[in-house]
Amino acid sequence: RDVSTETLGIKLMTGTQKDFFRSEAKYPAFIGGRGSSKTYSFCAKSFEKAQDNPGIRGCLTQPTFDMIRRNFVPVWEQQWGVVGGKNGIWEFRLYQQGCPQEIAFKNGSVIDLRPADDPEKFRGATYGFFGMDEIAIGNQLHVFLALMPSLRQKDSEGESYPYQGYVTSTPSGHKPWIRQIWMEHINPFTEAPLTPEHYPIFRARTKDNWHLSKEELNIWMEMFADTRFRAQELEGEFTALEGMAFEEFGDIHIREMPEDTVIVKRVNGLDFGGSSPTSMHELCLDQSDRVWVTKEFYKRNADDYDWIRKCEEWGSYEIRCDPSRSESELEHLRKLYGLHGLKRAAPHAKGFENRIRLWRNRLNVRDGTPRMFISPSCPNMISELRNLAYAELRPGEMVLGKWAKGCNDHA
């Protein structure tokens, strides 16, 4: 008989959940806050894969063996229990310590249930699809890489199945590979570009799940307040939490400069990129000594023409750049493009900690207002300030003179 999400009355919420479920991209990701129905969507997508493709073999992972039992099985049974069991169209089998290791379908499809704790265990497998739930827990990058080449199963006619590997997660700023693959679309090892249509991201906030109790949601929002923890856990944003460099940075700093602001100085800050992005921002100093970051240029593999053209577009030619370019190179650019305002930036504070102190002096709120604001049109600077964290020498011990691995500080 025809059994699907439609015939069983499983209704997907419009928006992220349904878009992720319907996505036919190679490696889609559902990234959302706690309770945004990631695992529910994960189970629905997996059931349809097995039911609609007789004979297919898939693999579903949870971070640990115990999480298969605690997280996955209850949601699967809630959705598909009505057609499960020995007299149904699917059943759990091959139990180990009370936890199933397979889901067998009457149409010949089989789903392996595996913990994502060791990439070596996935070598040699051949699948038609795989799904990884909660990929930010532990270190699952190499499991994802081990599963990618496993998508090569053929059907009984020798034809390829509609291969797909999908993932879900609450975001984590300390797992930069997730952000790099599905947001920045760059290789996490080489930073080479990835094909964006292969790695779409579907994002949701906790409050987007209308099945949640409004009363409970309000209690969570009240407790988490305007914190990075709320941004990560409820808003589904990539935010590092431990060893944060700028804990004082928040929504109060993100606003547009009023049109009637009296500007006493305007300058572009330029950071040349090699393998990293080239970054340039327009900074305005008002008569109250407040800095307004109003415009952003942020581009990987940019050449000189790219940022020079952006200066022309902004109509601002007073530029302070990092000292990575020689004075002879800068003089050549001045003569060639008439950039007489292009100068090396003389650091007002030498040393890592002194530069941090200068930033904090601007970001700290005094008398209800900070001395620095950043336009919403500068998303990369905002993201970097939210996620910059000190390197960790050992658990709980931060290295104050070095950023954590994976943190961007180009802006």
Q: Using one digit for the tens of pLDDT, what is the confidence trace for 217-232?
A: 889 888 887 766 777 7
Residue pair 36/16 in contact (Cβ under 8 Å)? The answer is: yes
In angstroms, the CA 70 to CA 261 distance is 56
Beta-bridged to residue 202, according to DSSP, are 30
CATH superfamily of 16-208: P-loop containing nucleotide triphosphate hydrolases (3.40.50.300)
Q: CA-to-CA distance for 204 and 13, rounded, in angstroms?
A: 11
What are the residue ranges spanned by the domains of the chain? 16-208, 251-403
| Secondary structure letter of residue 99 according to DSSP | E
The residue behind tokens 């599905």 is 182
Task: Say if residue 60's pLDDT is above 90.
Answer: yes
- Say whether 110 sits in a helix, a strand or coil: strand
- Average the pLDDT over 200-221 and give the result: 87
What local confidence, expressed as pLDDT, does residue 264 receive? 95
CA distance 405 to 189: 12
> Which structure tokens are listed for 68?
């298969």
Distance (Å, whole) CA 216 – CA 218: 5
Confidence of residue 4 (pLDDT cuts 50, 70, 90): low
Quickly tell me which residue has 């009023």 as its tokens: 258
CB 217 within 8 A of CB 208: no
> What percentage of the chain carries pLDDT values higher than 70?
88
Average pLDDT over residues 325-347: 86
- Please state, in angstroms and as integers, the Cα–Cα distance from residue 80 to each residue in 14, 74, 91, following that order: 20, 10, 10
Classify domain 251-403 at the CATH topology level: Nucleotidyltransferase; domain 5 (3.30.420)
Q: What are phi and psi of 21, to 5 degrees?
A: -60, -40
Which whole number is the average pLDDT over 22-36?
93
Window from 44-58, 131-145, 256-270, 377-391 with minimum mean pLDDT: 377-391
Q: Please give the C-alpha separations between residue 70 and each of 9, 63, 77, in angstroms, as whole numbers.
A: 25, 11, 12
pTM: 0.62
Check: CB of residue 407 under 8 Å from CB of residue 387: yes
Q: Is the pLDDT of residue 336 over 80?
A: yes
Question: What are 294-305's pLDDT values in tens digits?
Answer: 999 999 888 999
Q: pLDDT confidence of 6, banded at 50, 70, 90?
A: low
Would you tell me how many other CB atoms lie within 10 Å of the CB of residue 201? Answer: 19
Output the CA–CA distances (angstroms, integers) from residue 229 to 31, 251, 260, in the order listed.
Answer: 15, 14, 35
Task: Kindly tell me the number of DSSP H helices and DSSP E strands found in the chain.
Answer: 12, 16
Q: Where are the alpha helices (H) located in 168-294, listed in sequence order? A: 176-179, 214-224, 228-233
